[in-house]
């Protein structure tokens, strides 16, 4: 893997904004801004490297699905710092084998070709527009003869089609809800942008769709059903709203207490809460000790680890992460509002640095299949809110024809839901 500097396209900010990436720059605390979409560099990978990352992603996905089933069978709300009743909702979801649509791994790809899982964003992952649209259009503009590890858009459409035709949904109407945020929690439109992109892929799959903020969803106490902003019954819904947040609110208690006359089909399903908590990391290590793709991880304390990273169970954007190195004078610690729910401790691993940029691979799983990657750069070893994304190119592969693309899309290797009673 190599990093190359390149001159950005003229008017790149307008280009990617019109493609749907509504926050091409990030405002810094001092009032200045820097590119979030960073096309002043691109990353070169080989076909062999992509094959290794793809295989690792699918192997990790199978382990995560297995771990989710194990957690549901053996763990409690209290142990995982979840709202009361969450695990009952999770177990019902697994018993139904509710299918999932997508997740994103954060991987470290070392200079020695080793691959290590840092974590998985299983419930509310973002970065789809950057991966499926912006970097693909960048490739088409600058290197159209070459390829990119990127079937995100096609697999999303195919995934929705499979859900629509497999009986996983109640009819062809699908709502999209997102956390709009407000004040300091406003995310520059990231959730709304991602939800609307997913809505576009669902429309291409044949769904009739409607989107609005989660806060506008209502409850009809007479009919015992959720209603949208137009007082229309919600039957199938995609949400960019974390399960642990939703089930802690009066809104979510309707789900916990099974008050719905006909339960909504939620995407992502409730069992994905097991892939949202960092508690997954020690469970993976317990069930797969010494696995080459995992880092040692433990609940509550670092055990025998000398160099470790403490992660809050429900943390996001790098908040409240603490890095402890035995030979360092001080720990590296990020501010934030997480941590009351508890921590896990994961072995520290070096993140590769390219021209001063710390690089993590975002690797997508869509409908059980590895689907592509996004390169994320940061100023330090913790990927935080001020990180940047860069496009990539497979330098030894030509752009495939339609027949090859269809053959890849037809491949199926991964499970999409845990098996009950593990």
Q: How far apart are the first and last CA of the chain?
A: 39
Distance, in Å, from the CA atom of 157 to the CA atom of 138, rounded to the nearest integer, reads 21
Task: Write down the pLDDT at residue 413.
Answer: 66
DSSP state of 7: P
Distance, in Å, from the CA atom of 359 to the CA atom of 376, rounded to the nearest integer, reads 6
Pairing of strands 297-299, 332-333: unpaired
Percentages helix, strand, coil for the chain, rounded to the nearest 5? 30, 25, 40
Task: Write down the pLDDT at residue 160.
Answer: 97
The residue assigned the tokens 């960019």 is: 240
Task: Write down the pLDDT at residue 317.
Answer: 78
Task: Write down the pLDDT at residue 60.
Answer: 97
Contact, 356 vs 333, CB < 8 A? no
Peptide bond preceding 268 in cis form (omega within 30 of 0): yes
Task: Write down the pLDDT at residue 185.
Answer: 60
DSSP state of 184: G
Residue 143 CA, distance from chain mean position: 28
Task: Write down the pLDDT at residue 358.
Answer: 97
DSSP state of 150: B
The residue assigned the tokens 């009739």 is: 208
Pairing of strands 218-220, 225-227: antiparallel
Task: For residue 365, give every residue at least 6 positions away whose Cβ sits within 8 Å of its Cβ, in sequence order, or none.
Answer: 57, 58, 61, 102, 103, 104, 105, 371, 414
Mean pLDDT of successive 10-residue stretches along the chain, which has 422 residues: 97 96 90 94 97 97 97 96 96 96 97 96 94 97 95 96 95 94 68 95 97 94 96 96 94 95 96 96 98 97 95 86 92 84 95 97 96 95 88 89 81 75 60
Kindly give the interhelix angle for 280-287 and 47-74, rounded to the nearest 10 degrees: 100
Buried b (16+ CB within 10 A) or exposed e, 264-283: bbbbbbbbbbbbbbbbbbbb
Task: For residue 40, give every residue at least 6 positions away whose Cβ sits within 8 Å of its Cβ, in sequence order, or none.
Answer: 5, 6, 7, 8
Contact, 273 vs 82, CB < 8 A? yes
Q: Give me 210's structure tokens.
A: 């409607």
For 401-418, the pLDDT digits (tens) are: 888 878 878 776 677 788
Task: Write down the pLDDT at residue 30.
Answer: 87
Contact, 203 vs 173, CB < 8 A? no
Task: For residue 165, give every residue at least 6 positions away whose Cβ sits within 8 Å of its Cβ, in sequence order, or none.
Answer: none
Distance, in Å, from the CA atom of 279 to the CA atom of 30, rounded to the nearest integer, reads 35
């Amino acid at each position: 893997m190599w990093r190359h500097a390149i001159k950005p396209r003229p008017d790149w900010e307008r280009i990617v904004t019109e493609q749907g990436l509504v926050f091409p720059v990030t405002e810094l605390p001092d009032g200045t801004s820097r590119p979030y979409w960073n096309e002043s560099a691109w990353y070169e990978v080989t076909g062999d490297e992509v094959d290794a990352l793809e295989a690792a992603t699918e192997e990790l996905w199978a382990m995560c699905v297995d771990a989710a089933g194990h957690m549901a069978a053996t763990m409690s709300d209290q142990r995982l710092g979840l709202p009361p009743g969450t695990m009952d909702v999770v177990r019902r979801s697994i018993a139904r084998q509710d299918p999932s649509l997508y997740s994103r791994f954060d991987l470290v790809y070392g200079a020695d070709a080793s691959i290590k899982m840092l974590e998985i964003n299983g419930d509310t992952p973002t970065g789809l527009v950057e991966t499926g649209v912006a970097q693909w259009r960048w490739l088409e503009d600058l290197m159209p003869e070459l390829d990119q590890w990127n079937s995100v858009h096609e697999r999303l459409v195919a995934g929705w089609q499979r859900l629509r035709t497999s009986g996983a949904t109640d009819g062809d109407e699908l709502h999209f809800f997102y956390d709009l945020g407000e004040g300091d929690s406003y995310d520059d439109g990231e959730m709304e942008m991602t939800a609307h992109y997913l809505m576009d892929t669902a429309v291409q799959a044949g769904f009739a769709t409607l989107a609005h903020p989660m806060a506008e969803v209502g409850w009809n106490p007479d009919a015992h059903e959720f209603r949208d902003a137009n007082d229309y019954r919600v039957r199938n819904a995609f949400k960019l709203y974390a399960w642990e947040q939703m089930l802690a609110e009066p809104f979510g208690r309707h789900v916990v207490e099974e008050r719905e006359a006909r339960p909504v089909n939620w995407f992502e399903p409730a069992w994905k809460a097991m892939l949202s908590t960092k508690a997954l990391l020690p469970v993976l290590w317990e069930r797969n000790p010494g696995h080459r793709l995992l880092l040692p991880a433990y609940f509550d304390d670092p055990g025998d680890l000398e160099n470790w990273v403490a992660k809050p169970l429900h943390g996001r954007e790098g908040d409240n992460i603490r890095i402890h190195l035995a030979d360092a004078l001080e720990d590296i610690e990020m501010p934030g509002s997480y941590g009351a729910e508890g921590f896990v401790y994961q072995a520290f691993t070096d993140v590769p640095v390219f021209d001063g940029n710390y690089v993590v691979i975002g690797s997508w799983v869509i409908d059980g299949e590895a689907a592509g990657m996004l390169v994320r750069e940061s100023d330090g070893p913790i990927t935080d809110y001020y990180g940047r994304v860069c496009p990539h190119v497979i330098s030894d592969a030509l752009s495939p024809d339609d027949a090859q693309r269809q053959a890849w899309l037809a491949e199926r290797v991964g499970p999409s839901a845990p098996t009950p009673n593990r």
